[in-house]
Chain A
Amino acid sequence: MSPSSAVAEPVAPAARPGRYPLALFRSELQLVFGRARTWVLLAVLAGVPLLIGIAIKLSGSEGGGEGFIGQVAGNGLFLIVASLGLSLPFFLPTAVTVIAGESLAGESSLGTLRNLLTAPAGRSRLLAAKMVALIVFCLAATLTIWLSGLIVGFALFPVGDVLLLSGTTIPLGEGLLRALGIAVVIALSLLGLAGIGLFVSSLTSTPLAAMAATFGTFIVLGILTAIPQIDVIHPWLLMFRWTSFADLLRDPPYWGAIGKNLLLQAGYLTVFYAAAWARITSRDIV
Chain B
Amino acid sequence: MTQTQQQPAAGSPLVTRGLTKRFRGGQVAVDSVDLEVPAGSVFGFLGPNGSGKTTTIRMLLGLIAPTAGEVQLLGEPMPKAQLRVLPRVGALVEGPAFYPFWSGQANLLRFDAADSTADPRTRKARAGEALERVGLSNAAGKKVRAYSLGMRQRLAIAVALMQRRELLVLDEPTNGLDPQGTREVRHLIQDLAGDGTTIFTSTHLLAEVEQVCTHAAVMSRGKLIRQSSVAELRAELRPRLVVRTPDLGIAAETLKSLGVTDLKTTDETVEGDAVELPIEKFAAALVAADVRIHGFGLERPSLEETFVALTGEGFDVAQ
Contacts and interface: CB of A to CB of B under 8 A. Distances in A.
A146 to B, nearest CB: 28
B102 interface: yes
A284 interface: yes
A8 interface: yes
A13 B116 contact: no
B50 to A, nearest CB: 14
Contacts of A282: 65
B134 interface: no
B49 to A, nearest CB: 16
Contact of A5 (B93, B165, B194): B194
Contacts of A27: 109-110, 113-114
Contacts of B89: 118
A125 B114 CA distance: 9
Interface stretch (A18-26, A85-93, A231-239): A18-26
A115 B99 CA distance: 11
Nearest to A125: B116
A179 B3 CA distance: 74
Given A34-B102, A115-B111, A286 B58 contact: yes
Contact of B166 (A1, A13, A36): A13
Contact of B117 (A10, A18, A30): A18
B1 A9 contact: no
Nearest to B119: A20
B112 interface: yes
A88 B165 CA distance: 50
- Per DSSP, chain B at the interface is loop
A125 B87 CA distance: 15
A10 B196 contact: yes
Interface residues of A, number: 46
B237 interface: no
Contact of B194 (A8, A111, A116, A120): A8
A23 B120 contact: yes
The interface size bin for chain B is 35 or more
Interface stretch (B35-43, B173-181, B261-269, B292-300): B35-43
Contact of B86 (A1, A23, A119): A119
Contacts of A286: 58, 63-64, 94
Nearest to B213: A1
Given A5-B41, A11-B196, A115-B159, A285 B64 contact: yes
A117 B40 CA distance: 25
B148 interface: no
Given A1-B212, A23-B113, A110 B99 contact: yes
Contact of B62 (A6, A26, A117): A117
A114 B155 CA distance: 15
A115 B91 CA distance: 8
Nearest to A115: B111
B166 A10 contact: yes
B96 to A, nearest CB: 8
Contacts of B195: 8, 11
Interface string B83-105: 10011110101110111111000
Given A31-B99, A286-B58, A286-B64, A5 B40 contact: yes
A36 B3 CA distance: 55
Contacts of B194: 2, 4-5, 8
A3 interface: yes
Contacts of A116: 111, 114
Nearest to B215: A1
B229 to A, nearest CB: 10
B98 A16 contact: no
B197 interface: yes
B2 A119 contact: no
A196 to B, nearest CB: 25
Contacts of A118: 61-63, 86, 89, 91, 93
Contacts of A230: none
A64 interface: no
A117 B91 CA distance: 10
A36 B119 CA distance: 29
- Central interface residue in A11, A26, A36, by most chain B CB within 10 Å: A11
Given A11-B165, A13-B166, A114-B93, A1 B118 contact: no
Contact of A21 (B2, B116, B119, B213): B116
12 contacts: A1-B212, A1-B214, A5-B194, A11-B166, A23-B116, A24-B113, A24-B114, A115-B114, A117-B63, A118-B61, A119-B112, A120-B87
Given A5-B214, A8-B194, A114-B61, 8 more contacts: A7-B40, A20-B117, A23-B116, A31-B99, A118-B63, A118-B91, A120-B82, A286-B63
Listed from nearest, the 5 A-B pairs whose CB atoms lie closest are A111-B97, A18-B116, A119-B114, A120-B86, A121-B114
Interface of A: 1-11, 13-14, 16-21, 23-24, 26-27, 30-31, 34-36, 110-112, 114-122, 125-126, 282, 284-286
